[in-house]
Every structure is written in structure tokens, then in C-alpha cells.
């Protein structure tokens, strides 16, 4: 399979949208590159007494619409170009959702699977000590990402408050509820994806109560499997895959029971009433809705012709390659691109930031109602741009996002 430099792909997407918008060269150059980048080393003491020097990054892509927002990942294969790409996509994701935020991303090159909880805590606190002057509720608000979680954010928030000697829960998002987190945040990414699937099915005349499948039955995939039936009033989960295999039942599987089986055994394999299939086959089933919720480049030129879902909702980041996009568009498959499909997470994080600022915390129902409204508006902005221009939805989403950020840059007098 062809490999991709994520940052080059992200820049190509911006360039394509800028061409349709007739943006001037200075504006395009501003949007192609991050406004700030930090590369630093973290000396972290291990439990055996040795000190390991870890490499770390924070990229702040754009501040025109508000403070930057983006996750921090702990991963052994992290690169600056990956972080650059993800920071840019966060800018476009927040703009598509029409949130008053910019985009950022961070990472530490380490293998958290081989680190103790105390070593992870020291790493989290070291990251904040290196970066604290450049983050904050009015500057840049980190969140969990790959191999980080609400507990990581709790450590980071505490380190920031210790350094600044001020109570500032809004410096981090997706925190534990006891430390200023928001009701409804855990399911927000999947919920937002299912909401836009609902709107896509309405717009395209597709019955969402047909067959659907989850490629990547992790936390977001599990929640989407359950919420699909709850929000859309039905549907039959016929297949699901994870890193260990895939299961299939043409008569349907109970998503709650499948989730419980996965939590109990660590795999979808062996689920009662199902048969094992090759994980690649999940992408090629005849479906109403397919949720790619695992790795990037899952749908590529090697299998795009065999994809038969009517709607493809990208809960994962970058699951469809640029060439596959064109194939799916020609086949009439309605792709809901990642910067729209999984924007529910950052939309809920913004609601958490608002609650932290005001000190007024809402119940789950209020959060879900606001999230539904945000995602519904976002879908129709993208769908309208795509239909008006006759372009595939990914370019439509970029068109909406780039236009909004470019306007903010121009109004500020930056270009």
C-alpha cells in the first residue's frame, strides 16, 4: 500500500479548497503552515532510578477564530509532520463545527504500554512544565488523544495550577467529572457521528434502519454501534472488527451484548451467534452505513471499488486515502469526512470550556441537545457546499472551514 505523509495530504486539501475560493497567495501561505511550533525534550525519571530523555512536540496551527484546541498523544512513532497535520485538521474541524477555536496538537515520543502509571504521571507533568507559558484557556487547551485519557489531563491540570498558583480547570478538556469535566463528553465523538449520519440519510433518502457495520470496535466504535440504534430508531449491526479479528451475523447482533463480550474477553472474536470473517471484508459488505473507526488509510485504492455502503461515516482520522475519495465519489457513496464526522468530541470539549469559564455545569440532556444542534448545522453547511459546487464532501468540508478561517484572518488584518 502506498504510504502518505499526513502533513502533505493536509496541505493538499487546503490548497484545493483555496483554489475554489480564489484565495490570494499570502492567505494560502498563512493557512498552509502552523503559526507556532514547539519541539522540546523531557527528562523523565523512570521507576528504576534511570532518567530517560523523551522528545515532545506541540504545534499550534491557527489562532484567528480563538484559542487553539487539540489533543496530546503518547506514542512511540510520533513525528512532527504527523502533529502538524493533526493540528491543521483540528483548525478545520473546529471551523466546520463553527466553534470559536483554532487547532493544535501535541505528542510525546514514548511507549506508554511499557511505562508504569507513575512514569506516565511524571511524563505528563514534565510536558506541562516545558510548555505551560504557551497553553491556557485563552491560548491553547489540550485534551486526551492516543494513549492519554482524563487521568492524564487531571495530572496536567494539577501541574499547571501548581505552577501558576491559580485554579484554572479550563486549561485542559475531557477531564474527570470531579475536576470540572462535562457530562456527556465520553460519548460525544460517537454521538456526533451518529447525528450526522441521521442528517445524511435524511438528505440522501436512505433508510438508516438497514444494515450497518463498525470497522474498529474500540470505545468510539462501541458507542456508535449502540447509539446508531438509539438515535436512528433501529438498524441491524451485522459486522464488527477490531485488531484481533472480525465477526459477522447477517441477522444482526445486539451491540450492547457485543460490547460486553469485548470488554470481558478483550476481542470481538467468539461472540455468540456470529461467524468469523476476514476484517477486510467488513469494509466491503452491502450496508446502509459503514463506520470506519480504526486506523488511517483503511479505505484505499486497493479496496475502494469493493466498498458498497451507501453512507460512510469516518469516526477515525484519515481512514480514506485521497485516491479512494475519488473512487467513492464516482460510485455515489456518501462519505461524511472525518473533520465533520468526528467533530462531536471537540464540540463537547468547547461546551466543557464554556462551563469551566462560567462555573455553571449542565446535565447530560442539555449537553446532548447543544451537541445535536451544532452537528446538525455543521452537516448541512458541508452538504450545501458540496451540492452547490458538485464536489465530494471532504472538499466541501474543507471549503466551509477554509473560508471561515480565511475570513477571520482577513478581518484581523493579517493578510
pLDDT in tens, 223-281: 999 999 999 999 999 999 998 999 999 999 999 999 999 999 999 999 999 999 999 99
Share of residues in the chain with pLDDT > 90 (%):
91
Locus of grid cell 484481533: 244
Q: Which residues of 90-104 are buried (b: 16+ CB within 10 A; e: fewer)?
A: bbbbbbbbbbebbbb
Of 67, 65, 315, give the one whose Cα is nearest residue 197.
Answer: 315
- With 80 as the cut, is the pLDDT of residue 2 above it? no
Residues of the chain with CATH 3.40.50.10860: 33-173
Residues of the chain with CATH 3.40.50.720: 188-341
C-alpha cell at 38: 514547539
Q: Give the global pTM.
A: 0.93
- At a CB cut-off of 8 Å and minimum separation 6, what does 191 contact? 184, 223, 227, 231, 344, 368, 371
- At a CB cut-off of 8 Å and minimum separation 6, what does 9 contact? 85, 318, 322
Distance CA 205, CA 48 (A): 61
Residue 146: predicted pLDDT: 85
**Catalytically annotated residues:** 105
- Residue 1: band (very low, low, confident or very high) from pLDDT cuts 50, 70, 90: very low
- With 70 as the cut, is the pLDDT of residue 3 above it? no
324-338: pLDDT as tens digits: 989 999 999 999 999
Q: Report, at the CATH architecture level, how domain 33-173 is classified.
A: 3-Layer(aba) Sandwich (3.40)
Of 5, 6, 17, 3, give the one whose Cα is nearest residue 391.
Answer: 17
Q: Which helix (H) or strand (E) holds 157?
A: helix 150-164
Of 35, 143, 65, 83, give the one whose Cα is nearest residue 401.
Answer: 65
**CATH match of 188-341 with 3.30.70.20:** no
- The Cα-based distances of 152 to 54, 56, 161 in angstroms read 17, 15, 14
C-alpha cell at 73: 498523544
Q: What is the mean pLDDT of the chain?
A: 95
Kindly report the length of the chain: 415
Amino acid at each position: 500500500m502506498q504510504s502518505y505523509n499526513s502533513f502533505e495530504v493536509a496541505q493538499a486539501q487546503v490548497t484545493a479548497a483555496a483554489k475554489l475560493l480564489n484565495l490570494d497567495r499570502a492567505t494560502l501561505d498563512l493557512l498552509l503552515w502552523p503559526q507556532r511550533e514547539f519541539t522540546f525534550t523531557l527528562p523523565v525519571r523512570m521507576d528504576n532510578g534511570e532518567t530517560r530523555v523523551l522528545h515532545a512536540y506541540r504545534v499550534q496551527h491557527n489562532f484567528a477564530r480563538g484559542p487553539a484546541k487539540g489533543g496530546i498523544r503518547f506514542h512511540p512513532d510520533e513525528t512532527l509532520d504527523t502533529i502538524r497535520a493533526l493540528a491543521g485538521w483540528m483548525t478545520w474541524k473546529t471551523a466546520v463545527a463553527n466553534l470559536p477555536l483554532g487547532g493544535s496538537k501535541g505528542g510525546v515520543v514514548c511507549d506508554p504500554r511499557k511505562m508504569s502509571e507513575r512514569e506516565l504521571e511524571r511524563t505528563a507533568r514534565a510536558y506541562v512544565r516545558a510548555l505551560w507559558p504557551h497553553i491556557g484557556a485563552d491560548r491553547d487547551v489540550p485534551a486526551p488523544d492516543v494513549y492519554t485519557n482524563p487521568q492524564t489531563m487531571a495530572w496536567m491540570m494539577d501541574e499547571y495550577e501548581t505552577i501558576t498558583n491559580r485554579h484554572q480547570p479550563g486549561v485542559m478538556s475531557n477531564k474527570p467529572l470531579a475536576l470540572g469535566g462535562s457530562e456527556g463528553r465520553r460519548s460525544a465523538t460517537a454521538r456526533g457521528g451518529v447525528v450526522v449520519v441521521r442528517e445524511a440519510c435524511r438528505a440522501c433518502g436512505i433508510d438508516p434502519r438497514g444494515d450497518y457495520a463498525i470497522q474498529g470496535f474500540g470505545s468510539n466504535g462501541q458507542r456508535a454501534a449502540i447509539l446508531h440504534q438509539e438515535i436512528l430508531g433501529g438498524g441491524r449491526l451485522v459486522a464488527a472488527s477490531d485488531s484481533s479479528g472480525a465477526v459477522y451475523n447477517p441477522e444482526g447482533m445486539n451491540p450492547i451484548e457485543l460490547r460486553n463480550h469485548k470488554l470481558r474477553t478483550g476481542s470481538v472474536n467468539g461472540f455468540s451467534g456470529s461467524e468469523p470473517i476476514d476484517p477486510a471484508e467488513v469494509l466491503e459488505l452491502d450496508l446502509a452505513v459503514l463506520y470506519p473507526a480504526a486506523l488511517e488509510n483503511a479505505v484505499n485504492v486497493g479496496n475502494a471499488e469493493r466498498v458498497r455502503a451507501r453512507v460512510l461515516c469516518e469516526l477515525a482520522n484519515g481512514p480514506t486515502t485521497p485516491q479512494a475519495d475519488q473512487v467513492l465519489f464516482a460510485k455515489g457513496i456518501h462519505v461524511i469526512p472525518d473533520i465533520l464526522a468526528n467533530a462531536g468530541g471537540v464540540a463537547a470539549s468547547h461546551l466543557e470550556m464554556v462551563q469551566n469559564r462560567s462555573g455553571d455545569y449542565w446535565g447530560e440532556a442539555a449537553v446532548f441537545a447543544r451537541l445535536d444542534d451544532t452537528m446538525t448545522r455543521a452537516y448541512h453547511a458541508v452538504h450545501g457546499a458540496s451540492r452547490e459546487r458538485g464536489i465530494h464532501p471532504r472538499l466541501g468540508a474543507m471549503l466551509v472551514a477554509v473560508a471561515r478561517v480565511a475570513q477571520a484572518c482577513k478581518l484581523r488584518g493579517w493578510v
